[in-house]
Amino acid sequence: MLVAALLAALIAAILPGPVFAGTDDDQPRSDHWGVIPRTTVGSPVAELRNGPFGSYNVTGTAARPPYGRGSLGIEAVGTAPRVTPSPIERVDFGNEVDFVGKSLLGLRRIGFHVFQTSRNVRYGGPRNMPNIRFEIDPNLNATNDYATLVWLPGASPVRNAWSPFLDATRTGGWYLTGNAGAVTRCTAAAPCTFSALKAAFTFRNARPTVYTVAVSKVRDAMWVGAVDGLRLNDWVYDFERDGVKVRRVR
């Protein structure tokens, strides 16, 4: 019995292990997703919607969301060209309930699909993209109990269409805010790879835990597009107009 209890505790500690609230046609879903008010700045839009169904000249699988019919639409006005004064906004669409206390180092597969437009690239360059953001307890020392971990994707391989899966464990860079960034040397000025980020914690015998998970657009350049199929380990969060559905994948 003791061995079984220890095994159950170990499984519960591995991210994500979501909590489901209700079902729809036997499709599990979580009711704990939405705009995070305390970290959203200005008046951006993050709304569950249908589509987008490609641009007018796009056909095939890239012309529709990768899961279902919907996605998370984002309209974040950062530094907008030819707009005076230039507004600075940030939006976090996330979950403050289901992942609290989960092990950050238990993450092994992360990423999403994005609908990127040519205009977004004009606004901020090819890496003007939405982010994945974790509020965490880095557990690096007794006085440092909060940091934000942000994934900066690389450029989408396609524009005006849905991208393939963008793997955050292999592409782009990661940084930590505050003292945690300085200690791990994963900063906004010098982002780390995902493997280097995890190694920085394990080298210091730190066991970071999660507070929240969000799809975000940080305060940089204007961005209007959509995200779908947020993946955390063996779970895909399918953004649909009527809610966030949870799919088990391998």
Q: What is the mean pLDDT of residues 85-93?
A: 78
Whole-angstrom Cα Rg for the chain: 18
Identify the three-state secondary structure at position 59: coil
pLDDT at 20 over 60: no
Q: What is the pTM of this model?
A: 0.86
Sign of the Cα torsion 149, 45, 66, 242 reads positive
CA distances from 121 to 34, 76, 96, 117, 148 (A): 27, 14, 31, 7, 25
Q: Which residues, including other chains, have CB under 8 Å from residue 108's CB and lie 6 or more apart?
A: 169, 233
What was the pLDDT predicted at 58?
92
Q: Can you read off the two tokens belonging to residue 239?
A: 């953004």
pLDDT at 142 over 90: no
